[in-house]
Amino acid sequence: MASRYRCSLGALCMLLIMATAVIAAPTFVLPPLVRPASTEHHPGKVIWTDLVTPDIAGAKHFYGELFGWKFNDVHIGASDYSVALLNGNPVGGLYQRAVRPGEQRQPAWLTFIAVRDAAAAGRNILAHGGKMLTPTHSYPDRGQQAVFADPQGAVFAVLQSSSGDPEDVLAAPGEWIWSSVLTHDPDTDAAFYQDVFGYEVFEVPSNDGSTHILLSTDDYARASLNALPADAAKRHPHWLNFVRVDSATDTAARAEALGGRVLVKPFTDRHGGLVAVIADPAGAPFGLLEWTDTDSKQGAK
């Protein structure tokens, strides 16, 4: 009997040790979006982006040289993550995800949209035809986030920031300034995003005959929805984020020199400034957008 008691006690000790080890395991700590924390919330605003890449070292070199970003590395478990900073402020994350030999994957920037309640947003997304790719997960300091695909297949994430949402200010050069959804059917996709995030929806006049839609909250433009080009069968619906630059032409040339590719050459967009689309050396697409304080010149004509 005594030996049985000792055996049970030993098992209990083992369990306690295992439980302690699990509880004390390092958690993936991401920095808060806002320091000091605020009570501002802007549901529907794009408040974060994460690059998923097989080559985080190459990405850091490319984006560091191109935009002057600095990086804070986070190594936890098998994950390599780095927070990109501009003037000390976080502008995005770089996440290394291995690609198995022989496997071909498309690196991308993941777009995070602000929500007040990530779990409720998830239920709402599913109810309107979206698909959950990752369930809601809490990260200390950051908040709760989950990844979804809209009904057309464009991947995005929602983020319930525990430190509030970044204030509505004009992005500085080197910061993300704009986001677009390129999709097969902007009309029905606009209804999806409106139902989920409560956007006010504007049709934007265009000269190319295709549908251009603007999503807005708080009286600010948040994103555009655009029809994919005519050869849409070769193209997958996706979100595309744009970094503000002083010169899209110069930045595109520098991106090529750093190993990137120009996907869309700089052209004059409806606001009068130049826009371009680049692929980083691993193939992740992102946009460049010029914006000045006088960017009402085309619309004001």
Partner 1 sequence: MKTLVHGRSMRGLMIIVFAAAAGCVAGGGYDGGAEVGYDVGFYEPFGYDYGGWGPGYGVGPPGRGFDRGRGGGHGAPHPAYRPAAPSRSMPSLPTRSRNR
7-46: contacts with partner 1 (CB under 8 A): 8-9, 11-12, 15-16, 18-19, 22-23, 25-28
Provide the pairing of β-strand 70-76 with 79-86.
Answer: antiparallel
Q: What is the nearest approach in angstroms of partner 1 to the Cβ of residue 213? A: 7
Nearer to partner 1, 214 or 258 (CB): 214
Site string for partner 1, 155-194 (x = CB under 8 A): x-x---------xxxxxx----xx-x-x----xx-xx--x
Q: What is the nearest approach in angstroms of partner 1 to the Cβ of residue 61? A: 20
Is residue 154 within 8 Å of residue 45, measured between CB atoms? no
Q: What is the nearest approach in angstroms of partner 1 to the Cβ of residue 68? A: 15
Site for partner 1 in 143-162 (CB under 8 A): 144-147, 153, 155, 157
Q: What is the nearest approach in angstroms of partner 1 to the Cβ of residue 127? A: 14
> Binding partner 1 by CB under 8 A: which of 52, 66, 84, 243?
52
> Binding partner 1 by CB under 8 A: which of 119, 128, 184, 259?
119
**Sign, CA torsion 169/145/225/217:** negative
Is residue 143 within 8 Å of residue 166, measured between CB atoms? no
Residue with tokens 């390092």: 26
Provide the pairing of β-strand 220-227 with 176-183.
Answer: parallel
Residue with tokens 């302690």: 20
Q: Which residue stretch of 33-41, 65-73, 200-208, 251-259 sits at the interface with partner 1 (rule: CB under 8 A)?
A: 200-208
Q: Identify the three-state secondary structure at position 81.
A: strand
Q: What are phi and psi of 191, to 5 degrees?
A: -65, -40
Taking alpha carbons only, the member of 211, 173, 164, 53 closest to residue 61 is: 53
Cα–Cα distances (Å) from 37 to 10, 94, 264, in that order, read: 46, 23, 38
Site for partner 1 in 76-115 (CB under 8 A): 76-79, 81, 87, 95, 97, 99, 104-108, 110
Q: What is the nearest approach in angstroms of partner 1 to the Cβ of residue 158? A: 11
Cα–Cα distances (Å) from 258 to 135, 144, 264, in that order, read: 36, 35, 17
> Binding partner 1 by CB under 8 A: which of 43, 92, 252, 269?
269
Rounded to an integer, what distance in angstroms lies between the CA atom of residue 284 and that of residue 261? 10
> Binding partner 1 by CB under 8 A: which of 210, 253, 256, 257?
210
Nearer to partner 1, 45 or 66 (CB): 45
Q: How many CB atoms lie within 10 A of CB 14?
A: 10
Q: Which amino acid is at 13?
A: C
> Is 250 a binder of partner 1 (CB under 8 A)?
no
> Binding partner 1 by CB under 8 A: which of 39, 101, 102, 231?
231
Q: What is the nearest approach in angstroms of partner 1 to the Cβ of residue 153? A: 8
Q: What are phi and psi of 176, to 5 degrees?
A: -65, 135
Q: What is the nearest approach in angstroms of partner 1 to the Cβ of residue 88? A: 9
